[in-house]
């Protein structure tokens, strides 16, 4: 594995995963905000629900990279209102995500009701909590070890590019049987599929290019199944709306693959970076986790609560409704500000402070209700294994004094600007 990782193109890694570069900014809507917590608090204090998008409420609309919505928009900022929306899919539907059908195929992110339940049930078992050790043994532990081996004797590293970006990417592409030498190219196509600045024709071309990589793997696994995710999906069947069970088609598998590869190679990369950024900025808490590994889970959960990498989700109202005292007409888009909900002081005292010693309570970073994140247990496993290994193998981990101190950036796709560290 070390030799294969060494063949990955460093320039391409930087292009795809440099969060501080113009490439990343333009693909995240260009609306990078270093610290928006004061504005979120003021918005939440003035009312749990506001008319307008989160960007409009915060005064953070970027004229160069606008994110237009065709429907009227309302934004929810409190824990109770956001949780209410997630747990009432009949009123607040996933139709807001139907645009993903265009590039991903018919996928569970945008499905609703019985169809969503049927198709989610196909993939749910392999992402269940009791399968995390399978993920660790098959991919996470070995990839973590190989990545750290490449730089642990060097005494310094950019953990964003050399570790955080590659661990989830190689885990999810490996689970889909994608050769390592094609992992970066597949991620490049995914970036083009989800970019706010990409024209529809280019998004469709990127989706087709991703299929060109994945279809040969699907064909090979149909004839020679392995102990991996794509083989497990291929072996499953789904019940249609008439009660008839049938095997997954190539298009079904492609839809799962595009969605899971997008989430699996993006969100955990950025969230792991946020976790390390927070601990490096709180060295007393970093030392506490190093001494007491039972705090690893608390550090991961506090990171997820404190600075979720995808701060906003969307739903569409199926009928007229009232949320947080605000009347919302049918057909409206409701923006769910997870960061504001996770900083609700009615649930977490002093919520803007990163504190691994606070009592762990359920947060909304993985959503809730029937659309709760399918891969949340795998993401937690990746971050926990990574943090334990880093603390084992990179002693006296600290910021590189010769590099500018990184900041957290992004109103969408939030992440550290970089992670330059020294150790040993």
Q: pLDDT tens digit string along 319-358?
A: 999 999 999 999 999 999 999 999 999 999 999 999 999 9
Q: What is the pLDDT of residue 21?
A: 66
Which pLDDT belongs to residue 67?
A: 67
| Residue-wise DSSP of 30-52 | T---S--HHHHHHHHHH-SEEES
Query: Which has the higher per-residue pLDDT, 164 or 34?
Result: 164
Helix (H) or strand (E) holding 185: helix 183-194
23 pLDDT higher than 50: no
pLDDT higher for 102 or 24?
102
What are the strands of the beta sheet with 92-93, ordered from one edge? Answer: 49-51, 73-76, 333-337, 312-317, 92-93
> What tokens does 177 get?
């049987």
Given a cut of 70, whether residue 30 has pLDDT beyond it is: no
Which residue has 């409206």 as its token pair? 332
User: How high does pLDDT run on average in the chain?
Assistant: 94
| pLDDT for the residue 412 | 84
Give the pLDDT of residue 4: 95
pLDDT recorded at residue 66:
67
State both tokens at 129. 């909590």
pLDDT of residue 143 exceeding 60, the answer is yes
Q: Where are the domains of the chain?
A: 2-395+403-422
Residue pLDDT, tens place only, 222-252: 999 999 999 999 999 999 888 899 999 999 9
User: 165-169, 194-198, 259-263, 294-298: which has the minimum mean pLDDT?
Assistant: 194-198
Kindly tell me if the per-residue pLDDT of 9 is higher than 90: yes
What are the pLDDT digits (tens) for 373-388? 999 999 999 999 999 9
For CA atoms 346, 352, 358, 361, the dihedral sign is: positive
- Any bridge partners for residue 416, and if so which? 408
Q: pLDDT at position 65, please?
A: 64
User: How far is the C-alpha of 419 from the C-alpha of 238, rounded, in Å?
Assistant: 43
Lowest mean pLDDT among 44-53, 134-143, 337-346, 408-417: 408-417
Beta-carbon-side half-sphere exposure of residue 357 (alpha carbons within 13 Å): 7
Q: Is the pLDDT of residue 28 over 80?
A: no
Asked whether the predicted pLDDT for residue 304 surpasses 90, the reply is yes
User: Tokens representing 231?
Assistant: 């083989």
Of the options 3.40.50.10490, 1.10.630.10, 3.40.50.1820, 1.10.3720.10, the CATH number for the domain spanning 2-395+403-422? 1.10.630.10
pLDDT at 31: 56
The share of the chain scoring above pLDDT 70, in percent, equals: 96
**φ, ψ for residue 212 (rounded to 5)?**
-60, -30
| Alpha carbon distance, N-terminus to C-terminus of the chain | 25
List the single range of 14-23, 35-44, 191-200 with lowest mean pLDDT.
Answer: 14-23
Q: How confident is the model at residue 341, as a pLDDT?
A: 98
Q: How far apart are the C-alpha atoms of 190 and 209, rounded to whole Å?
A: 9
How much is the pLDDT for 60?
Answer: 84
Which H or E run includes 73? Answer: strand 73-76
In this prediction, residue 378 carries a pLDDT of: 98
Lowest-confidence region among 25-34, 113-122, 132-141, 401-410: 25-34
**What digits encode the pLDDT tens for the residues 37-83?**
999 999 999 999 999 999 999 988 877 666 678 899 999 999 999 99
């Amino acid at each position: 594995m070390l030799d294969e990782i060494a063949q990955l193109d460093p320039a391409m890694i930087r292009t795809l995963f440099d969060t501080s570069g113009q490439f990343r900014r333009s693909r995240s809507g260009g609306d990078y905000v270093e610290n928006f917590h004061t504005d979120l608090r003021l918005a939440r204090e003035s009312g749990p629900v506001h008319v307008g998008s989160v960007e409009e409420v915060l005064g953070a609309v970027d004229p160069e990279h606008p994110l237009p919505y065709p429907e009227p928009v309302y934004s929810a900022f409190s824990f109770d209102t956001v949780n209410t929306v997630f747990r009432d899919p009949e009123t607040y539907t996933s139709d807001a995500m139907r645009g993903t059908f265009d590039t991903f195929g018919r996928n569970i992110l945008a499905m609703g009701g019985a169809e969503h339940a049927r198709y989610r049930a196909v993939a749910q078992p392999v992402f269940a909590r009791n399968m995390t050790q399978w993920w660790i043994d098959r991919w996470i532990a070995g990839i973590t070890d190989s990545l750290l081996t490449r730089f642990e004797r060097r005494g310094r590293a950019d953990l964003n590019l050399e570790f955080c970006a590659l661990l989830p990417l190689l885990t999810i592409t490996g689970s889909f049987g994608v050769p390592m030498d094609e992992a970066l190219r597949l991620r490049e196509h995914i970036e083009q599929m989800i970019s706010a600045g990409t024209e529809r024709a280019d998004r469709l071309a990127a989706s087709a290019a991703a299929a060109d990589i994945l279809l040969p793997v699907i064909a090979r696994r149909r004839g020679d199944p392995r102990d991996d995710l794509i083989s497990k999906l291929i072996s499953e069947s789904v019940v249609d709306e008439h009660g008839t069970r049938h095997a997954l088609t190539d298009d079904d598998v492609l839809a799962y693959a595009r969605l899971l590869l997008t989430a699996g190679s993006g969100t955990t990369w950025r969230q792991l970076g946020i976790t390390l950024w927070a601990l490096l900025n709180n060295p007393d808490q970093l030392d506490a986790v190093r001494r007491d590994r039972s705090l690893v889970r608390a550090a991961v959960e506090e990171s997820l609560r404190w600075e979720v990498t995808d701060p906003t989700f969307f739903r569409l109202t199926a009928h007229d409704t009232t949320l947080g005292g605000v009347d919302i007409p049918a057909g409206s888009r409701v923006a769910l500000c997870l960061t504001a909900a996770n900083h609700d002081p009615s649930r977490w005292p002093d919520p803007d402070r990163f504190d691994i010693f606070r009592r762990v309570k359920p947060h909304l970073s993985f959503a809730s209700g029937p659309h709760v994140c399918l891969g949340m247990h795998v993401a937690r496993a990746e971050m926990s294994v990574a943090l334990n290994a880093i603390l084992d193998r990179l002693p006296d981990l600290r910021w590189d004094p010769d590099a500018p101190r990184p900041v957290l950036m992004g109103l969408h796709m939030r992440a550290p600007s970089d992670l330059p560290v020294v150790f040993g």
